[in-house]
Amino acid sequence: MEKVKTGIVGLDDLLDGGIPKNNILLISGGAGTGKTIMSLQYIYNGAKLYNEPGVYVSTDQTEDEIRNQAKAFGWDLKDLEKKKMIRLMHIDITTVKDHEYLRKISAMIKSIKAKRLVLDSMTTLTEFLAPSEIKDNSKLFDMMGSVIPVSMTETMLAKNTIAKVIKQFKDTNCTAVVTSELPETTNWLSRDTVSEFLCDGVILLHYMALGEKDFSHLEVRKMRQTKHKRGTFELHFTPKGLEVKEEEKFG
Ligand SMILES: Nc1ncnc2c1ncn2[C@@H]1O[C@H](COP(=O)(O)OP(=O)(O)OP(=O)(O)O)[C@@H](O)[C@H]1O
Ligand SMILES: [Mg+2]
């Protein structure tokens, strides 16, 4: 099976070579655990090291903020954008209209024949989109609300949006990474509780502070069709980006 390398030191070995081609990988973790840096590094390495064009879609940061975050690690996105190897797209969740963003993402993928795709983050997109869809379909939801509690219709909508997004990503020719926020204490692998089942793979990022020391670590929770390594591995934030230390394993 063809594997798509992340190029992140240590990670491809954990994944038995990389992400299976055309799969969707969910990166889930709490605030500041490295979800954005990891997904950006996947797109940057694809373009820089493997000659694979990539589209990076962000709900949380503008294009300039993404470029600046990359610059902090010495990654020149502007140059790769000029060479049509990378396209950045910011979805403004306060103004986005029902699924027009999916058409835009498709057009961007086609414009550079992208092989890699990132959505950062699925949580923001679905949590903001669900209420706006309720407004757009108010009659339908008035009717549904009379038989189902409103909070439940919102949850159902968010899940429906996730399913739609993931289906659309599956239909592209891309190997995709989507990020999801994870509350500090939960038994689920994502805040929405469905992405982990719809995605082919799940990587969990954790942060832990003990006295004056703190640790970041990574766990490959699942990866369909892959004999991935199990356990928890140290994650390091270096001046060149993230690195996974394979040998030092916790518990
Ligand atoms: N230039 C840098 N060098 C080293 N570490 C950095 C650098 N910039 C950020 N970091 C570390 O990375 C963390 C943020 O990573 P990132 O933005 O990928 O997290 P995230 O999981 O996307 O967070 P959020 O939930 O806010 O979206 C910071 O909290 C900091 O510890
Ligand atoms: Mg982020």
Reading the block at residue 64, the tokens are 């300039």
The whole-angstrom separation of Cα 20 and Cα 216 is 25
Q: pTM value?
A: 0.90
Which atom of ligand 1 is the closest one to the Cα of 69?
8
Instruction: Residue 178: name the closest of 78, 186, 163 by CA.
Output: 163
User: Tens digits of per-residue pLDDT, 73-98?
Assistant: 999 999 999 999 999 999 998 887 76
Stretch (H or E) spanning 188: none
User: Tens digits of per-residue pLDDT, 33-51?
Assistant: 999 999 999 999 999 999 9
For ligand 1, say whether the CB of 35 is within 6 Å of any of its atoms: yes
Mutation probe of ligand 1 site: the residue of 8, 27, 28, 33 with most atoms within 8 A of C-beta? 33
* Cα of 34 from ligand 2 centre, angstroms: 7
Stretch 11-17: mean pLDDT, rounded? 96
- Which amino acid residue places its CA nearest to atom 23 of ligand 1? 32
* Cα of 53 from ligand 2 centre, angstroms: 21
* Cα of 7 from ligand 2 centre, angstroms: 20
pLDDT on residue 251:
47
- Beta-strand runs (E) in 103-187: 116-120, 175-181
Lowest-confidence region among 49-58, 113-122, 152-161, 223-232: 152-161
For ligand 1, say whether the CB of 33 is within 6 Å of any of its atoms: yes
Residue type, 121: S
The whole-angstrom separation of Cα 142 and Cα 150 is 9
